[in-house]
A and B are shown apart, each in its own frame.
Chain A
Amino acid sequence: MSAPIIWIIVPFLAAVFFWFIQQKQRLVFYSAAGLSFLLGLVALFQKIDSALRIGSLAINIQSTMTILGRSLVLDNADRIYLAFVYISLFFWYLGAQAFHTSSKFFPLGMAVVALLTAGLAVEPFLYSAILVELAVIISLPLLLTRDSPIGKGLLRYFIFQSLALPMIMLAGWILSGVQTSFSDMNQLYIAALLLGLGFAFWLGMFPFHMWIPEFCSENDPFTNGFVMGILPVAVILIMLDYINGLTWLKDAAFITPALSVCGTLMVVTGGVWAAVQTDLCRIFGYGVIIETGFMLISISLRNELGTQLFYYTMFARAIELGIFTLAIVHFQKNGLGTSLADLKGRVKVAPLSSIALIAAMFSWTGIPLLASFPIRAVLLGQFSTAPGTALWALVGMGALTWAACNVLRSLFQKNKEKWSLSEDTPQSMLFILGILLLLLIGSFPSLFLEAVWSKISVFLTML
């Protein structure tokens, strides 16, 4: 038994099976949620390249699986990603059941996660571009509903993700050819340029980011939240694999400023544009851009602290995006609207989703006592000697705070409605869990984040 069989082949085959029995929604929900939770737990507690003991049975879990001369490799350094992605998927499944999302979410969600994991695991790495493209194509039916028109955002999402494929494959081919000798610097620079363009298309880096808010405002907010929550994290990890796997690229002087400048631009443009938006879905889109920007700034530090901050951001971001998405879904499904004009006084009819929305937005902005505060504080503190990045990031965060205040003002505006709770029990539990996690991480960062890091640091080979 190998790790790729457990975390790639099994979930992919399960997804195919769930697709054919998706009419039995309750069965599919329990099976899919159970499987994803189990896979997450196994990733967290079971070492790869050692024996898995179930009673008297001992199964040796190898890190490598070979298919047609290529390898899928999942080692101990990947376990934190595997645990993160499968436990996140479990929570998305809970949300899907609580908010009555389409039954196709269960099989397609699992297939997308399995393919993205394969993209991270495959060697030679140029195949990761094809696997990510396959994940993107499979995500399209997930995002489409028969009763909503196809918007430009969805088509642009497909176009930009597809444009990345040739860039990454060509760059991969050039780099695999010149890795042994660095004599032709021109080819190396072309490869770096193609690689940069490919990742810019995948992540929606400035100036290729305009499809993200459009995409988020057009489609089903739940599936948008899922795709935007999982895809950028997987792509950044693939990017780290590329950077760390190529000696020349790892040591290149331009990597740090390039990542830092791209990240800062994403934070500033995302924040400023979010400040002038009047729709929650579009604000969510800009929030995704800002979070990706902060992850890029974290990895631009190129040290242990940067890796630590990247993983913290990954966890905080998952909670923030999750409860923000669920709040938007709740507003939409109850006919409360998502524009700031529609939200006036809605805290009275949807108190928990309103508070979740506010908590997620203020956590993004780095307000004290919420999850992202300690992460942002430490991250921006690292730029004390070259304060340009920190100052520009503060501009973006300030603008996002303005957007959060606008949402807050709308939600708490006086109206004649009476206080009521429109969220049912499972929905309320998810909102309360999300808000509590944001508050606990923000209030006791050393307790939570240090505990997480002590686990992560065991797995990771540092940058």
Chain B
Amino acid sequence: MMDNWANILPIGLIMAATLVIFTGESWRNNLIALAVLFFGSFFLYMQQWDFLMAAIKLIAGWMCVAILSFVTGLQDSFEERTNTPKRFFTVVGLILVWVLAALMSTRISLMFDMSPEIAFTSFSILGSGLLLLGFKSGPFKVILGILTFFTGFELLYAELESSILVIGLMAAVNLLVAFVGSYLVTISKPGDTE
């Protein structure tokens, strides 16, 4: 059961974004989806923290997207052509992760004393990130996977801890991941940046 039915909108946005990150073939769509994921999470953060702290998360997330887009945009293409059965299989995998997150959310929400929809959302983002890290092996998708995984964890952790230092350090970690990711993307196809 949901504590707040208005959460359906950001949760829907987040799930659509993870689906695009998972199945998207163009880097542009993937980065837009990542930005939407951070935007959806921002609404959930606002229920736990004040506007300013939630905004810090949103800005840090969008900065990550910007850093990645500057470099990735210089590459010719990151499109990974996947055939329909493979895409079907990955989507089924993602749906299973969501089902698992839904089944776990009630127990997790009781254990950590948090609202069930935030438990569900954080675990579904976390699981999607893990699944992405398991399925994909290119540097760009790995960086997206790590950022997605961290977003899920931070959403869960936001319910437990509201320390400004943790928020700041996690924002630094995310930005450094994006910086290193852009470096990885650049040197993975060195000729394309010319």
Contacts and interface: CB of A to CB of B under 8 A. Distances in A.
14 contacts: A130-B169, A133-B173, A134-B173, A140-B180, A140-B183, A144-B187, A150-B139, A162-B146, A162-B177, A163-B130, A166-B149, A166-B150, A170-B153, A173-B160
B160 to A, nearest CB: 5
Contacts of A68: 164-165
Contacts of A166: 126, 149-150, 153, 157
Interface string A87-129: 0000000000000000000000000000000000000000100
B83 interface: no
Given A130-B169, A146-B190, A187-B111, A155 B157 contact: no
Contact of A155 (B142, B149, B173, B176): B142
Contacts of B173: 130, 133-134, 137, 165
Interface in B90-105: none
Interface in A120-174: 127, 130, 133-134, 137-138, 140-141, 144, 146, 149-150, 152, 155, 158-159, 162-163, 165-166, 169-170, 173
A70 interface: yes
Interface string B167-194: 0011011001100100110011010000
Contacts of B80: none
A134 B157 contact: no
Interface of A: 68-70, 127, 130, 133-134, 137-138, 140-141, 144, 146, 149-150, 152, 155, 158-159, 162-163, 165-166, 169-170, 173, 187, 190
Contact of B172 (A70, A134, A150, A163): A134
Contact of A69 (B130, B165, B169, B187): B165
A16 to B, nearest CB: 14
Determine chain A's interface SS by DSSP, over half rule: helix
B191 to A, nearest CB: 11
- B: contact size bracket: 20 to 34
A169 B146 contact: no
Given A137-B177, A150-B187, A158 B142 contact: yes
Contacts of A127: 165-166, 169
